[in-house]
Amino acid sequence: MVYAISIVALIAIFTVATLTPINMGILAFAGAFVIGGWVSGIPVEDIIDAFPGSTFIIVGGITLLFAIAKANGTIDLVIEASLRLVRGRRWAILWMMFLLSGLLMALGSVLAVGMLAPIAMPLAAKNKINPFLMGMVISHGALACAFSPINLYGAFINGLMDSTGVGANPLVLFALPFVLNLAIAIVLFLIYGLDLIGRRTPCPVAETSDGGGFGGSSSSRGPSGGVTAGNGPGGNTATLTDREVIEEALIHEGVKPVKMNRYRFATLAGIGFLVVGSVAFGIDVGVSSICISAVLLLMAPKSHPKVIDNVAWPAVVLVCGMLTYMAVMTQNGTLDFLGDAASALGSPLLTALILCYAVAIISAFGSSIGTLGIALPLAAPMLAMGEVGAVGFVAALAFSATVVDVSPFSTNGVMVLANAQVEDKGRFQRKMLAYCGLIVLSAPMFVWALVVVPTSV
């Protein structure tokens, strides 16, 4: 009876959080105390001790560091410098957006697509890049790096697998979604973007409805590679260098030109230390991010007094709440019960395929991290039996649950749709939905056959 109540409560938590604005983590905390204390008889002190303090430090520290980088202009500096590198090459604009989206996600921004879509989608319209292609490329760029060890998703999955006793493999968890999302982006480019190769964007300051540049000025390419801009007939003329043309374009697209200073340099150095320290020397990501954030705040204590408000507290609560509830399900024996039930099906590989499809379908309309928070603990007992390759299956589930975030109902999809400069938003949404349906049908089967089957007994 305890097992049934625990499972029903888990389903109810996910359903209510999907259909209402209530944070899933709050419901999970409440469920942990109700199911753990009242139903299962677990002492309240044990439930409190199950709180994932290390995960709290990681998620809170990373999002704090990223909030500081956003507030002090470091993120704008990176975006601006990246766009300067492409120098008008349309195909390069597309792939630079892919790389930027992935970089921002890898460093801790779960809203990388939301940050780039207001820039990327107008750039697509201005430069005659297929808007669907641009939207999906920035989405897959973010999803490619969704399981970086130093961001929310990576910290959550690695922490969850460690807590269930299966053990995590951060390298495989990051590499598989990265390779597969990159492959999808390449296929999309081959279908929609081959005509971009060899073309350059028209000069940004030369595009207005009356044939002039910004504010009605006219412009032309000068003999030295600059741009000659005039203020109408008889107006003064001036030659703009390529750098100035790019600056005009960035301003026009909403990217504020920023310069390197000691604060931004320190922020970039801190992020670099975080990455190198965690990967090469095994330094705890949460501890490093908190210490680096403290140093940056001490460097300019009055510059960003409310930066703490920009920490992704809802994500912190969600992750910690779900991990606490999973600890309760472990202590009251529910996960062992589910493992026995999975083994009774007689085909672990078939069960793995069903789970991959289940998380893909549910995540297309709900929370990816919430879906994984349910699916992985349910799969943990089956993984512990050793009949399915644990590392490959976890990576396959992670990929299946996140690759569908191209859905127009996901946060990524909503931002792409909202910023798409197309004549018929309804038609664009239907195209996104059809593409998501194709992903849901094909991605789980593909990753199951590619990874799960070869790594299983």
Report the predicted TM-score, pTM, of the whole model to 2 decimal places.
0.74
Query: Hey, how many other C-beta atoms are within 10 angstroms of the C-beta on 419?
Result: 21
> What's the DSSP call for residue 228?
E
Let me know if residue 427 belongs to a domain. no
In a domain, 174, yes or no: no
**Rounded distance between C-alpha atoms, residue 191 and residue 133, angstroms:** 9
Residue 306 lies in a domain: yes
Calpha distance 436→144 (Å, rounded): 16
Question: Among residues 388, 380, 386, which one has the least CA distance to residue 336?
Answer: 380
Cα–Cα distance list, 386 to 242, 455, 457 (Å): 59, 10, 8
| 219 DSSP β-pair partners | 229
| pLDDT given for residue 346 in this prediction | 66
Count of domains forming the chain: 1
- Within a domain: 293: yes
| 10-residue averages of pLDDT along the chain (457 residues) | 88 83 90 92 91 83 84 82 77 91 85 83 86 95 90 81 72 92 96 79 41 36 40 43 51 64 91 81 83 91 76 81 85 78 73 89 80 78 75 91 89 87 90 93 95 84
Contact 222, 236 (CB under 8 A): no
Contacts of 122 by beta carbon, 8 Å cutoff, 6+ apart: 253, 254, 419, 421
* pLDDT attached to residue 457: 62
Q: What confidence score (pLDDT) does residue 438 get?
A: 95
Q: How many CA atoms lie within 13 A of 434 on its CB side?
A: 7
The length of the chain in residues reads 457
pLDDT of residue 251: 59
Looking at residue 86, its amino acid is V
pLDDT reported for residue 67: 83
Please tell me the predicted confidence (pLDDT) of residue 398. 92
Containing structural domain, residue 302: 62-146+189-310
Residue 92 lies in a domain: yes
Give the pLDDT confidence score for residue 282 in this predicted structure.
Answer: 73
Residue 184 lies in a domain: no
